[in-house]
Amino acid sequence: MTHSNRFIIFLIVLFAAVGTGFFCYAEQDLERLDPWAFESPRRPGAVFSHDDHIFLADDDCSVCHHVYENGELVPDESSEDLYCSDCHSLKPGPDNPMPLEAAYHNLCRDCHFDRSQGPVLCGECHVKE
């Protein structure tokens, strides 16, 4: 093998590595929630890394995917097989514990306030695409 052939192979390997690296990064960077449950979303879906947040919630899924019985939080039970919108519908009503938009804002923003960490401004979560 000549020097120049080795150099070309080196370049191909290099570009392949940089290429996959770039796509992995791009995918991570664009983790955000899909606001599909809202009829006509007015904001870009909120940026949200689910993996990072599992860690931030100490692996306790029920911090977000909660279950209530008669208004009481049921410890050690979680509802990750359901969408938030399965229980929190868009409009207030007798069977709706809290409309969906408020449910998201209260869950996300309150924890960021409580911990003095994480975004609390509109444009920090609803980052333009």
Q: Fill in the amino acid letter for 45.
A: G
Report if residue 96 touches ligand HEC, rule: CB under 6 A. Answer: no
Q: Which residues pair with 69 in a beta bridge?
A: 72
Q: For the range 119-128, what are the long-range contacts, defined as Cβ-Cβ under 8 Å and sequence gap of 24 or more?
A: 122/43, 124/47, 125/46, 125/47, 125/48, 126/43, 126/44, 126/45, 126/46, 126/47, 127/32, 127/44, 127/47, 128/44
**Residue 32 beta carbon to ligand HEC: minimum distance, rounded to whole angstroms:** 7
Instruction: Work out whether 66 is an interface residue with ligand HEC (CB under 6 A).
Output: yes
Kindly tell me which of 19 and 92 has the beta carbon lying closer to ligand HEC.
Answer: 92
CB of 55 vs ligand HEC, minimal distance in Å = 9
Structure tokens at 40: 């006509």
Q: Which stretch binds ligand HEC (CB under 6 A): 7-15, 17-25, 75-83?
A: 75-83
DSSP tag of 64: T
Contacts of 121 (CB under 8 A, 6+ apart): none
Smaller CB distance to ligand HEC: residue 1 or 26? 26
Is 63 a binder of ligand HEC (CB under 6 A)?
yes
Residues that bind ligand HEC (CB under 6 A): 33, 35, 38, 41-43, 45-48, 50, 53-54, 56-57, 59, 61, 63-68, 71, 79-80, 82-88, 97-98, 101, 103-109, 111-112, 115, 117-122, 124-126
